[in-house]
Structure 1
Amino acid sequence: MNARSETEVVPIASDDKTTAMTMIQALRSAMDVMLARSGDVVVFGQDVGYFGGVFRCTEGLQAKYGKSRVFDAPISEGGIVGIAVGMGAYGLRPVAEIQFADYFYPASDQIVSEAARLRYRSAGDFTAPITLRMPCGGGIYGGQTHSQSPEALFTHVCGLRTVMPSNPYDAKGLLIAAIECDDPVIFLEPKRLYNGPFDGHHDRPSVPWTNHPLGQVPEGYYSLPLETASVFRPGTDLTVLTYGTMVFVAEAAANETGISAEIIDLRSIWPLDLPAIINSVRKTRRCVVLHEATRTSGFGAELSALVQEHCFYHLEAPIERITGWDTPYPHAQEWDYFPGPARVAAAFKRAMEA
């Protein structure tokens, strides 16, 4: 189990019995729990019904709850999000799957102009309590239209919440919190973490993490706060600000270098747990920012600016930023595109030697 932030709110739990789950199983369990708890929750999207979703996250839910609660949608992302906004405005809590995060672009107007603004435009008379699940990132050789990490685009939009879990325990607790939230939540799911452990090495994507078995996840209801980061790994030499798959790449680099890196798993990309970031950087006095998405205007730029604004007089080295390339997503070279332990380790060493 990950180390937890001292300031983190204790999860609300009604069932202490746990079982080992992959992230897919944890996400399915979250939807199962919420479908059972409230008739207002509905799940829909492309192939999520009978087929159970392209990654099988919704497998078995239609058989359990019926076609009026879990159902397929046409290949129309704008239609899917538009329907979700209407459902939310009239009291339902839809969980809509966009089959790949890359596919959200046709729905951009519905997400930005309708879902994100509904509470403000109606002076609070209507809300958009919708959850948009989107598999994101690479690792499956999906090419340019199945492997993008567009989180920075969502964080720029006022009114949206953006979440990306790194492990099964967080995935379930955060998805339940997202479904219960009265604001629209973009719930990004790293595909490389879907089916089990990942050791952070670009050339060994299927080798289990040495110290990280499948997540022990409560079988019943529990919720994690959407605005709280997690101290994934305590450390004293430098702070790593990251999320999703890159949490484990940072861990691999720390293990290989022997550097005491404090890895902050943001989990909630926006709203951001700024106090957790400030406290860690002021303690370690060095900062490395790491994400899979492209460098220019990536979310790492925002993180770097915030650290500069709040921690400048505590820093003993320049902020290091490790990201994907500023290129269209490479298909055959995707494992070179990802920041790997070697690139991250080099950044750790530069920070320590500065």
Structure 2
Amino acid sequence: MSEDLKGKTTPMTMIQALRSAMDVMLERDDNVVVFGQDVGYFGGVFRCTEGLQKKYGKSRVFDAPISESGIVGAAIGMGAYGLRPCIEIQFADYIYPAYDQIVSEAARLRFRSAGDFTAPLTIRTPCGGGIYGGQTHSQSPEAVFTHVCGLRTVMPSNPYDAKGLLIASIENNDPVIFLEPKRIYNGPFNGHHDQPVVPWSKHPMGDVPEGYYTVPLESAAVFREGKDLTVLTYGTMVWVSEAATEESGIDAEIIDLRSLWPLDLPTILKSVKKTGRCVIVHEATRTSGFGAELTALVQEHCFYHLETPIERVTGWDTPYPHAQEWDYFPGPARVAAAFKRAMEK
């Protein structure tokens, strides 16, 4: 980990940490620009960019038309020209109109130009549930990006990692899909309802350095050490999995993937070979979700170390429901039940 932690640390929510990352990079590198729908004067729908336009001006932080394809296409051109755009797609559900630009242009530019051009752009976008947004504001599309060669896909679970990973993404010379779990944006409550974002005592806040530091894009973290089984997860589900260890009494080792691709396979394999059991947890739908790739990799590399079949706990294979949101995504009870099944077999 590359860090400069001599400066002051401050308790931050994930939103504050992301804003701090963009602030650091806008000040550090004149080639960094931030733009997207409502990110300038308004400061973003979740206020992630609040105050940045006032500080750095309308040529560095600015609003874009409601055209996701246009936003990404412009950012690709800026990146090829030498800038480092950090753009926001207002919700991950809105990213699909830009999918062709991301896959056919950004991901392939380095390869099709034999290295003459790169696309050093970071695409920030809120993902997952937590605001009763239903199928138009709550999707988790990470799997469709991990399948694309030339892209990096990142999803942090806490403010410290969010800032370090975002800085590393902006500095990277390849396009990065930076998925932000909105359910843990603001700590314990989502700001719209009385429903707690994480329905247990702990919530994802922590001390974050105010200055520059990075978290490597290709590294997983051992969020919680344990001996009974290995949990492979990321984003909000890291906290759900921790709650499930308390509910089940099972000593689970939780691996926070952080970087979905490139994937830190050595950390995964070391843990699974130690525990002999594996549970995979993600909020996205089950079929063809990223958990399927994780299952295949663990099976290929750890077959003779596994004591029981691999368990998967995921969202339903349905469009995201409005009223049943808290039943849709895995909660501590569902994850704890999977832990117990893994231990009983």
Superposition TM-score, scaled by structure 1 size: 0.94
CA 1:288–1:130: 2 relative to 1, 3 Å: same
State which of 152, 168, 172 in structure 2 corresponds to 1:177: 168
User: How much does 1:314 deviate?
Assistant: 0.2
Q: What is the letter of the counterpart of residue 311 of structure 1? A: C
Counterpart residue number, 2:73: 82
Q: In the aligned structure 1, how far is the partner of 2:228 from the partner of 2:19?
A: 38
Q: Cα offset for 1:197?
A: 3.5
1:31 maps to 2:10: no
Task: Tell me, yes or no, if the aligned pair for 1:15 and 1:219 is still in contact at 8 Å.
Answer: no
Task: Give the Cα–Cα distance (whole angstroms) in 2 for the partners of residues 246 and 66 of structure 1.
Answer: 37
In 2, Cα distance between equivalents of 1:240 and 1:107: 33
Alignment deviations for residues 141-184 of structure 1 (CA, whole Å, 9 cap, x no partner): 11111100000000000000000000000000000000000000
The 1:340/1:207 distance shift into structure 2, 3 A limit, reads: closer
What percentage of residue pairs aligned between the two structures are identical? 83
**Residue 7 of structure 2: aligned partner:** 16
Q: Distance in 2 between matches of 1:320 and 1:37?
A: 45
Q: Does 1:154 align with 2:145?
A: yes
Counterpart secondary structure, 2:149: coil
TM superposition shift of 1:11: 3.2
Structure 1 residue 301 corresponds to structure 2 residue 278: no
Where 1:188 maps in the other structure, the secondary structure is strand
Structure 1 segments, 4+ long, off by >3 Å, are: 206-213
Q: Number of residues paired by the alignment?
A: 342
Report the counterpart of residue 304 of structure 2 in structure 1: 313
Higher alpha-carbon deviation: 43-52 or 205-214: 205-214
Corresponding residue to 2:42 among 35, 51, 60: 51
SS at match of 1:27: helix
Are residues 1:112 and 2:103 paired?
A: yes
**Residue 324 (structure 1) aligns with:** 315
| Structure 2 CA distance for aligned equivalents of residues 253 and 204 of structure 1 | 19
Provide the secondary structure at the position in 2 that maps to 1:249: helix
From 250, 255, 274, the counterpart of 2:246 = 255
Q: How far does residue 274 in structure 1 lie from its aligned partner after superposition? A: 0.1
Matches within 5 A, 1:102-251: 102-197=93-188, 205-206=196-197, 210-212=201-203, 214-251=205-242
1:353 maps to which residue?
Answer: 344
The Cα of 1:16 is off from its aligned counterpart by 3.0
Task: Supply the AA of the counterpart residue of 1:338.
Answer: F
- Give, in angstroms, the shift of residue 75 of structure 1: 0.1
Q: Which runs of 5+ in 2 are unaligned?
A: none
User: 1:347 and 1:207, CA in 2 relative to 1: closer, same or farther beyond 3 A?
Assistant: closer
Q: For 1:195-254, what per-residue CA distance to the aligned partner results, in whole angstroms no more than 9, with x for missing partners? A: 0147xxxx9525686455621000000001000000000000000000000001100110
> What do residues 98-122 of structure 1 show as CA deviations (whole Å, max 9, x unaligned)?
0000001100110000000000000
RMSD across aligned positions (CA): 1.4
Q: Which amino acid aligns with 2:20?
A: S
**AA paired with 1:271?**
P
Task: Tell whether the 8 Å contact from 2:158 to 2:204 is kept in structure 1 after alignment.
Answer: no
* Letter of the structure 1 residue corresponding to residue 178 of structure 2: F
Contact 1:15 1:221 in 2 (8 A): no
- Whether the 8 Å CA contact 1:33–1:220 is kept in 2: the answer is yes
Q: How far off its partner does 1:12 sit?
A: 1.9
Within 2, Cα distance between the matches of 1:207 and 1:234? 21
Residue type of the partner of 1:237?
D
Q: Secondary structure at the match of 2:136?
A: coil
Within the alignment, does 1:266 sit opposite 2:247 as a pair? no
Instruction: Tell me, yes or no, if structure 1 residue 93 matches structure 2 residue 73.
Output: no
| Runs (5+) with no aligned partner, structure 1 | 1-9
Equivalent-residue separation in structure 2 for 1:79 and 1:173 (angstroms): 28
**Cα distance between partner residues in 2 of 1:210 and 1:128:** 42
* Alignment check: 8 A CA contact 2:15 2:47 kept: yes
Amino acid of the residue matched to residue 240 of structure 1?
V
